[in-house]
Structure 1
């Protein structure tokens, strides 16, 4: 065992080096926040793409927070993205991809109204399903696509499967249903009577009323413009962007 020399000069302590974020991207906590808040690992870099893509998946969450095990799309996350896409000059078109079971009626209509009022070209693509209040969102764009195997459920507005005993509640739901019908028929090629017929059809859905519409049927009814996937949707959006540029130049002059 050796003795230490007390007269030996002590080595000066090196200052602690600041921790550097991982190379090749953002800090790990930033990526986790984007996954939790927007369901995306990386927000598209607008310097590289003139198209912004928004996904609407799971259940559309409105004023009431859903249980954590539910996969949701929060309208307070979608609306700021729509505003940012509208005012960002580098974004020339918007692509919305839907695979939703529906959800809050007012939140869904709010999203659909914002999409339909955008000045930039918009295209929607239904993959898997665009059910319930997802129908107005699907038809809100300038052009809509649906996958051949995708489905759309059209049914009346309702709160639960229970009988509604309060007349005021029934009147409120009836007015809300009229808003949905008016928006869908205004923004698609389907006739109002046909849409109501699909909505109030009996025997199509088990122990319920409504209709489950498959991809090709949605096009034949005039609800959706075309059957197709991501390729045709992007081609159409780029075509709309090209057609929109002369109109934008005329407005600037």
Structure 2
């Protein structure tokens, strides 16, 4: 019988070998690693495509940001960017107690929010024994105005705005005279605080608050940049450089020993 017509099932050589199978005592080959470029911007990339921030040197200045809407006793919707006063107040207490912190920089870009929460933050800033400087970027509206003027020196960016308007209530309002009397008393608290910690006269501040014809569907005034300085609401116009320079100046002045010796 001729074997040439039989199907070739077995390999004619020994040991039998099949593709993609290892021989005995043969080690698997590891692929060569792909060389990664060094010294390129991609070397700083971390997870989620974020760039690692530069290392911050030790500083005696602490920075607090007041952004979005100032949240009070009611929790705002999750899509709102908020500043919670129960988070800010403990930070202010820690700043006052920390001997390594010599000054506080407050950055504001807020639309306002809860009146009592905003006043609580402003009163805490005023009562600090360490120098404070505030900087308004974007906007310092509504109850953000008392927070801005609560610092020892306030700055506003040339394109930043401040909205001054009467306070209002949300939710159920009882239509009795006591409701409006309560609103008037709360408004007096805001007016008194702002005028005591800025250069604006009380009559001028009330005139800006109740001005008509400037805001659509509302009463009040919008001040842009230098306009807030001209009316005496903000001390100076500037940015981060001027704010830090002023804060360092206040720190040096606060650390200077008082003239004269102890009084017996």
After TM superposition, the score normalised by the length of structure 1 is 0.78
Equivalent residues of 1:55, 1:98 under 8 A apart: yes
* Superposed CA offset, 1:214-250 (max 9, x none): 1110000000000000010000000000000025899
Report the number of matched residues.
212
Establish whether residue 83 from structure 1 lines up as the match of residue 93 from structure 2.
yes
Counterpart-to-counterpart distance in 1, 2:83 and 2:195: 25
Residue 8 of structure 1 is matched in structure 2 by: none
Establish whether residue 114 from structure 1 lines up as the match of residue 141 from structure 2.
no
Shift of 1:165: 2.2
> How do 1:29-108 residues align onto structure 2 when only pairs under 5 Å count?
48-108=58-118
Q: Secondary structure at the match of 1:84?
A: helix
* Superposed CA offset, 1:142-201 (max 9, x none): 000000000000001111499872322211111010000000000000000000000000
Residue 187 of structure 2 is matched in structure 1 by: 177
Counterpart-to-counterpart distance in 2, 1:238 and 1:99: 22
Counterpart-to-counterpart distance in 2, 1:130 and 1:166: 32
Counterpart-to-counterpart distance in 2, 1:78 and 1:178: 24
Counterpart-to-counterpart distance in 1, 2:182 and 2:135: 31
Shift of 1:203: 0.8
* Higher deviation after alignment, 207-216 or 239-248: 239-248
Larger of the two Rg values belongs to structure: 2
Counterpart-to-counterpart distance in 1, 2:192 and 2:257: 29
Equivalent residues of 2:108, 2:137 under 8 A apart: yes
Residue 10 of structure 2 is matched in structure 1 by: none
Establish whether residue 145 from structure 1 lines up as the match of residue 155 from structure 2.
yes
Counterpart-to-counterpart distance in 2, 1:110 and 1:126: 19
Equivalent residues of 2:135, 2:156 under 8 A apart: yes
Q: Secondary structure at the match of 2:128?
A: coil
Q: Secondary structure at the match of 2:183?
A: helix
Residue 227 of structure 1 is matched in structure 2 by: 237
Which of 123, 130, 133 lines up with 2:140 in the alignment? Answer: 130
Equivalent residues of 1:164, 1:170 under 8 A apart: no
Counterpart-to-counterpart distance in 2, 1:247 and 1:103: 41
Equivalent residues of 1:147, 1:229 under 8 A apart: yes
Please list every run of 5 or more consecutive structure 1 residues that lacks an aligned counterpart in the other structure: 1-27, 29-40
Please list every run of 5 or more consecutive structure 2 residues that lacks an aligned counterpart in the other structure: 1-46
Aligned pair in 2 of structure 1 residues 223, 247: CA closer, same or farther (>3 Å)? Answer: farther
Residue 215 of structure 1 is matched in structure 2 by: 225
Aligned pair in 2 of structure 1 residues 218, 77: CA closer, same or farther (>3 Å)? Answer: same
Counterpart-to-counterpart distance in 2, 1:199 and 1:73: 24
Counterpart-to-counterpart distance in 1, 2:229 and 2:116: 26
Counterpart-to-counterpart distance in 2, 1:126 and 1:113: 18
CA RMSD of aligned residues (A): 2.6
Residue 44 of structure 2 is matched in structure 1 by: none
